[in-house]
């Protein structure tokens, strides 16, 4: 019934010889080590690009995953939302150091002391609603995974608890639910419409979607699974529980194009991009800016964001030299380790590109 992952075939599309030589074997090792049922990756350096896929598309039916397949990008959604907010800053509709209460009065407890900047870089100390049982899209929720949620429902859960102001950095999906509502207040349109209008259409990202209540993932895609403890198919779910914090769907090529446009200054002013790249220390293995993570590799810093939503892990990063790596992993009986992922990133950014 379940295809043996040790013997799966590899599907690759090569546009530049050698570009993925160091990445593909690392992906195969993760699949063989039960860290993934499937994995997609794209590595590029200017006009040179490699796209590949390993593993199996569907554990029941088999099949090769497509290097061009769709996947849930989870918290990489935050970078799209942050970009829209910085565009609104450029238009003079909001300032980074405005208290959120100025634009959404009465919505956020102590909102007169929490700024837009603090929401963007997770220094607001707002409690993460996904820490509550049954409110995380990274966990199996049975039939509840098809339930629809409204943003203010999620905030009600978040605001029922408080985080201590202990000087530590706290990642909180609540921040980006608030920011999604801020975008809607300032523009008069749904946040997903603004993402589409301001980013997806201008960049021609035809394979990037803000799904709303739609439970499916477009084809082609590799199915996502969750061990409970046996693997169950978690591909279909209503992602409104993530909303502006992580609901979007994309492909490796589209994410590469987005990150390239953003980090080369094509989507915001130079001042706004500098603000996005101004980081705080997190103690989590990366620095965090305004909707951007910064990881230090042996050959320098890379910028982008990672994402997790049940059945899918996403990594989308770019160096200032123009190299990029975008990867989607469908975890198996375990998640791939940080060491495994960083090994791939090191091969992509620091290894020989020839």
The pLDDT > 90 percentage for the chain reads 90
Contact present, 158 and 119 (Cβ < 8 Å): no
Longest dimension (CA), the chain: 58
Write out the two tokens for 197.
């209008």
Burial class, 143, CB count within 10 angstroms (exposed 0-12 / middle 13-18 / buried 19+): exposed
CA distance to 3, 38, 145, 345, per residue, from 324 (Å) = 32, 20, 33, 9
* pLDDT at 19 (0 to 100): 59
Cα gap 303→315, rounded to integer Å: 10
Confidence of residue 265 (pLDDT cuts 50, 70, 90): very high
66 an active-site residue? no
Cα gap 64→52, rounded to integer Å: 11
**Rounded mean pLDDT, 198-217:** 98
* pLDDT at 15 (0 to 100): 38
Half-sphere exposure of 153 (CA within 13 A, CB side): 9
Write out the two tokens for 16.
């530049």
Cα gap 41→54, rounded to integer Å: 9
Mean of all residue pLDDT scores within the chain: 93
Of 254, 220, 223, 219, the residue nearest 55 (C-alpha): 223
Question: What is the enclosing helix (H) or strand (E) of 233?
Answer: strand 231-233
CA distance to 115, 122, 160, 182, 307, per residue, from 126 (Å) = 12, 8, 10, 16, 20
Cα gap 113→214, rounded to integer Å: 36
Q: Which of 51, 75, 272, 353 is catalytic?
A: 75
- The domain locations on the chain are 5-54+61-350
Q: Which CATH number fits domain 5-54+61-350: 3.40.50.11540, 3.40.710.10, 3.90.10.10, 3.40.50.300?
A: 3.40.710.10
3-state secondary structure of 43: strand
Taking only the tens place, the pLDDT of each residue in 138-193 is 999 999 999 999 999 999 999 999 988 788 899 999 999 999 999 999 999 999 99
The pLDDT > 70 percentage for the chain reads 94
Cα gap 156→171, rounded to integer Å: 18
Cα gap 242→155, rounded to integer Å: 12
pTM value?
0.94
Residue 352 has pLDDT above 90, yes or no: no
């Amino acid at each position: 019934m379940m295809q043996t992952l040790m013997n799966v075939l590899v599907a690759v599309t090569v546009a530049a010889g050698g570009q993925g030589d160091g990445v593909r074997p690392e992906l195969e090792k993760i699949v063989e080590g039960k860290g993934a049922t499937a994995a997609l990756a794209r590595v590029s350096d200017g006009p040179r690009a490699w796209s590949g896929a390993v593993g199996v598309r569907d554990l029941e039916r088999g099949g090769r995953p497509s290097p061009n397949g769709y996947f849930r990008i989870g918290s990489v959604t935050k970078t799209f939302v942050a970009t829209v907010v910085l565009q609104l800053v450029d238009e003079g509709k909001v300032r980074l150091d405005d208290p959120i209460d100025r634009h959404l009065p009465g919505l956020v407890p102590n909102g007169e002391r929490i700024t837009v900047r603090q929401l963007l870089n997770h220094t607001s100390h707002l409690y993460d609603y996904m820490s509550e049982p049954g409110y995380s899209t990274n966990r199996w929720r049975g039939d509840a995974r098809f339930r629809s949620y409204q943003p203010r429902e999620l905030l009600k859960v978040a605001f029922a608890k408080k985080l201590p102001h202990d000087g530590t950095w706290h990642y909180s999906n609540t921040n980006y639910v608030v920011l999604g509502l801020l975008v809607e207040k300032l523009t008069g349109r749904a946040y997903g419409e603004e993402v589409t209008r301001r980013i997806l259409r201008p960049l021609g990202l035809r394979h990037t979607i803000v799904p709303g209540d739609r439970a499916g993932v477009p084809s082609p895609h590799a199915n996502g699974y969750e061990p409970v403890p046996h693997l169950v198919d978690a591909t279909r779910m209503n992602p409104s529980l993530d909303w502006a914090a992580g609901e979007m769907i994309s492909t490796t090529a589209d994410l590469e194009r987005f990150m390239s446009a953003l980090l080369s200054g094509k989507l915001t002013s130079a001042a706004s991009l500098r603000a996005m790249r101004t980081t705080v220390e997190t103690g989590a293995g990366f620095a965090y800016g305004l909707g951007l993570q910064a990881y230090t590799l042996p050959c320098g810093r890379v910028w982008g964001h990672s994402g997790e939503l049940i059945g899918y892990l996403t990594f989308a990063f770019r160096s200032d030299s123009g190299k990029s790596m975008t990867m989607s992993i469908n975890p198996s009986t375990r998640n791939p380790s940080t060491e495994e992922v960083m090994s791939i990133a090191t091969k992509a950014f620091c290894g020989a590109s020839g």
